[in-house]
Chain A
Amino acid sequence: MIELDKVAYSYGGADLLTGVSLTLNPGSFHFLTGPSGAGKTTFLRLAYGALMPKSGHVRLFLQDRMTMSPDDLADCRRRIGIVQQDCQFLDHLSVAENVALPLTVQGGLNAAAQENLRDLLAWVGLTERADARPPELSGGERQRAALARAVIMSPDVILADEPTGNVDFDMSQRLIRLLVELNRMGKTIMVATHDLTLIRTAKTHVQARVLRITNRQVQSAGADL
């Protein structure tokens, strides 16, 4: 699905990541941990093609990011649901419209999709806030909306950056169960997080691999997790 091959990246200064190789196989579940500033967000941005590697190759669905046209990339993005750490929305649209945006840009919503949207908003607890504008949402509500938007297309891959950073324990359990459920349906999932209980919860339900960024490398975390 997504493959990083000896990837190095830097924002201009010293390398932030070097020689990073990782393959996200179909149906796999990965957690990505590491200290703040280690490069988790950077890794995910490389993985969905927003950043170009300084060296090495990133392949999305077998296509090299380097040789992709903008339209190829758009095609890939339709198969990847993204939850960004800073959850950007279109502030002039309602929460429901934002969640439905991946469908809208592909030609609109049919009746089945409308129902899907309602169910999804209910699952993430945003039914009441469906008509609000994103700037009116709390941090946790934004994350829930972002997760709903990422999964509404039922994409093959879901990449989530700290999707539970601002929500309470019960809600985070609820959100991880949504991701677990999607993984059971065969979706490929990667979640960057500091939240160890989240990882433990997921591991009681699915096979999940835990990775850690240390010394500019991505490695398997110890057995304590």
Chain B
Amino acid sequence: MMMKPAIRAIFSRDSAADRVVPPSGFTARLVLFSAAAMSLLAVLALALALAAGRLAERWGSDLASASTLRISAPADQLGMQSDRALAILASTPGVDSARALSIQQQQALLEPWFGPDMPISSLPIPRLIEITETSDGYDAAGLRQRLAAEVPGAVLDDHQRWRKPLLAAAWGLWVLAAGIVLLVGGTTAAIVALATRASLAANAGVIAVLRNVGATDAYISHAFVRRYTVRVTTGASAGTLIAVAVLMVLPKGGDASVMTQLAPQGLQWVLLFMVPIAAGIVGFAATLWAAAQLLRGLS
């Protein structure tokens, strides 16, 4: 079956050709409903995949950035201990750079809590060292041992430990959601192909009459393909609109739970509206395939 004339057939409004196929109320409504339901699921799964992707990205970038070394010691030892820590870090493989925050920087960090007039320099606050890792990362356990031996006041705050499984979970979620999108797409194709087959098979008499008066198989299949593609796209559009409405009324809480972050951001909304288009393409291909199969069997 030729692809290009079939595509042209969809966009040409040949009402006479449409009418040669008898109206099929029940199958039509079934296909419409299935397409709507499947698109709704696809949009929600897609939103989930996008959200998981965003989450993974954010956690991933945090992970790549700094960990922190906190040194608490009596004021007279603070300078010495932090110099010692910096020296150890400089010789630790996997540490890209290490930098002690200046008094001013620490003051800036604390200002929101204590106000600008707090004499920080006179307080026994810990000294902070910001560590940037190389992409390979460093051996946190080994570093802790060395620090414990030489810089007693040092506490290494390493985000990696608890973020790595979270990152894996986020990617797992992404894979799951993407898998659902693919499954939903495949199921839609199957439903449409079955409906087309059933509809063509039920119309074997119509097909025989059309062939007797000289209709080509392309003409016959296009009449069905057009009808089903329009139906699937219509149903999918409805399903997508409902899903988008659901996403828009979801509470947008400040906390980072996945559910409240489900609504896509920016251009990602556009991606959701690709679902009806994708459904139309899937419906078109499935109908064309099913019609070609069945017509070949009927000859």
Q: Is the CB of B16 within 8 A of A102?
A: no
- A31 CA to B216 CA in the complex, in Å? 30
Q: Is the CB of A108 within 8 A of B16?
A: yes
Interface 1/0 per residue, A64-105 and B, CB below 8 Å: 000000110111011000101000111111000100011011
Q: State the main secondary structure of chain B at its contact with A.
A: helix
In the assembled complex, the CB of A108 is this many whole angstroms from the nearest CB of chain B, namely 6
**Interface set, chain A 109-133, CB cutoff 8 A to B:** 109
Q: Is the CB of B20 within 8 A of A101?
A: yes
- A88 CA to B210 CA in the complex, in Å? 10
Q: Is the CB of A105 within 8 A of B215?
A: yes
Give every chain B residue within 8 A of A149 (Cβ-Cβ).
213
Q: Is the CB of A90 within 8 A of B206?
A: yes
Q: Is the CB of B219 within 8 A of A105?
A: yes
Give every chain A residue within 8 A of B299 (Cβ-Cβ).
70
Question: Chain B, interface size: which category?
Answer: 20 to 34
Q: Is the CB of A77 within 8 A of B213?
A: yes
A215 within 8 A of partner (CB): no
In the assembled complex, the CB of B153 is this many whole angstroms from the nearest CB of chain A, namely 87
Q: Is the CB of A104 within 8 A of B20?
A: yes
A106 within 8 A of partner (CB): yes
Instruction: Tell me which of B16, B19, B217 contacts A74 (CB under 8 A).
Output: B217
B208 within 8 A of partner (CB): yes
Question: Chain A, interface size: which category?
Answer: 20 to 34
Q: Is the CB of B16 within 8 A of A104?
A: yes
Give every chain B residue within 8 A of A102 (Cβ-Cβ).
213-214
Interface 1/0 per residue, A143-178 and B, CB below 8 Å: 000000100010000000000000000000000000
Q: Is the CB of B208 within 8 A of A91?
A: no
Give every chain B residue within 8 A of A73 (Cβ-Cβ).
211
- A192 CA to B23 CA in the complex, in Å? 35
Most buried by B among A74, A77, A88, A92: A74
Most buried by B among A88, A90, A102: A90
In the assembled complex, the CB of A44 is this many whole angstroms from the nearest CB of chain B, namely 12
B182 within 8 A of partner (CB): no
Give every chain B residue within 8 A of A97 (Cβ-Cβ).
19
With A90-B22, A91-B22, A92-B23 as known contacts, state yes or no: A77 contacts B212, CB within 8 Å. Answer: yes
In the assembled complex, the CB of B298 is this many whole angstroms from the nearest CB of chain A, namely 10
Give every chain A residue within 8 A of B205 (Cβ-Cβ).
88
B271 within 8 A of partner (CB): no
Give every chain A residue within 8 A of B103 (Cβ-Cβ).
none
Instruction: Tell me which of B17, B23, B213, B216 contacts A70 (CB under 8 A).
Output: B216
- A221 CA to B220 CA in the complex, in Å? 41
19 contacts between A and B (CB under 8 A): A70-B216, A70-B217, A70-B295, A70-B299, A71-B217, A73-B211, A74-B211, A74-B215, A88-B209, A90-B209, A92-B22, A102-B214, A104-B16, A104-B17, A105-B17, A105-B214, A105-B216, A106-B214, A109-B16
